[in-house]
Structure 1
């Protein structure tokens, strides 16, 4: 197997970082030229790493979902305080902008993303269940409630970018997470995995 040159790895990382920002700001039709400009590299370098916009978008979302799954599993393993672990995970995921990027691929079947989604669901369910068993959060919510709130509270309105909502998103998430600690009658029923498909 040939060794990948260090400069090629650096260029790929720069492309992915720039593409994450550009896709989050301008959607799935963002021009590869804009991504190359943001990464401060030539267009030809982008095309050497990614054949087209679809393959680059897939890789951006795969990387973001991988970091999200890793963060969820780390939260499960690293903190004896389940509520604190859940809060840390929610805020970390907001910074990944996954709720902006993932819907860009929702209409197509992209290999490998279903397994990453399941890793996230399993870990968040573990965090929520542990916090409930410790008596730290209300007993009538599910992992799906947490993921749905995360998506709604971190998605910018049409025509706005993450930078416009970031200061308010973390505040709203904090209010939501604080609210998980109170017991009251909730309308409807807890969402399930099937509801989110």
Structure 2
């Protein structure tokens, strides 16, 4: 758990093969963009992003043709980082529920709720690369929950969405407040959530487990756009 989580890991998995100096500039731009998008919103001037990154405007435009391309790369970077964290924690943490706990806090560190709020109306949900990255991320999430469930530590009536939705909400700023106001409370409240996920369950939950497919379907209905895999197959 850190106070500057968005400052680095969000770009680690999306860097293309470039010269070392170009790669560093690319990483600085995406990191600065993620920070400023959170602080100021998706319309923050690109000149300010270049300044925060410590590069010239021309360098930014060499890497990113326009604002939408930069937003797209930030989101792809975030999803790749989440997938990599899930895989790394799952491979190194022998206790299945502790792995789930560590991953939940790592996700909160990335302030995914704040970024989702910024980009909610800026993304093409049918973008094949975004769909593929999301599927990889979801597979890593599902594996982590399945291991916790099979270990007997996770209550059986929980789906991935039951974890992701609260993390998004806990890391989304309250109306009229800045992103920084949620950070002191997100990890504290997340621990309360995790206590509620442990088996044996102490209550009967209304409805059914929230799967990522349920969340995806709701998002597509809201945006009235289909999501397809890279081979053109609709995602249901």
Q: TM-score, normalised by structure 2?
A: 0.76
Q: What secondary structure sits across from 1:84 in the alignment?
A: helix
Query: Could you say what secondary structure the match of 1:23 adopts?
Result: helix
Q: 1:174 aligns with which of 179, 191, 211?
A: 191
C-alpha distance in structure 1 between counterparts of 2:127 and 2:49, whole Å = 22
Q: For the Cα contact (< 8 Å) 2:112–2:171, is it kept in 1?
A: no
- d(CA) in 1 for partners of 2:56 and 2:195? 47
- 1:137–1:180 Cα contact (<8 Å) kept: yes
Unaligned runs of 5+ in 1: none
Cα distance in 1 for residues equivalent to 2:110 and 2:150 = 28
State yes or no: 1:193 paired with 2:212. yes
SS in 2 for 1:112: helix
Given that residues 58 and 105 in structure 1 are in contact (C-alpha distance below 8 angstroms), is that contact kept between their aligned partners in structure 2? no
Structure 2 gaps of 5+ residues are: 1-16, 217-236
How far off is 1:48 after superposition? 1.4
Partners of 1:187 and 1:38 lie apart in 2 by: 47
Query: Kindly tell me: are residues 172 and 36 of structure 1, through their superposed partners in 2, closer, same or farther at Cα, counting changes over 3 Å?
Result: same
Distance 1:117 1:82 in 2: 23
| Structure 1 runs of 4+ with >6 Å offset | none
Alignment match, 2:95: 81
State the Cα distance separating 1:105 from its structure 2 match: 5.3
Greater percentage in helix: 1
State the shift of 1:41 in Å. 2.2
1:138 is matched with 155
Q: Does 1:45 align with 2:66?
A: no
User: C-alpha separation between the residues in 2 aligned to 1:185 and 1:43?
Assistant: 56
How far does residue 76 in structure 1 lie from its aligned partner after superposition?
2.3
Matches of 1:137 and 1:193, distance apart in 2: 17
1:39-118 alignment, distance < 5 Å: 39-102=53-116, 104=119, 107-108=123-124, 109-118=126-135
CA distance in 2, matches of 1:10, 1:81: 36
Supply the distance in 2 between the matched residues of 1:35 and 1:22 (Cα, whole angstroms): 7
CA shift, 1:63, in A, is 0.9
- Specify the alignment match of 2:39 in structure 1: 25
For structure 1, which segment, 80-89 or 125-134, has the greater mean C-alpha deviation from structure 2 after superposition?
A: 125-134
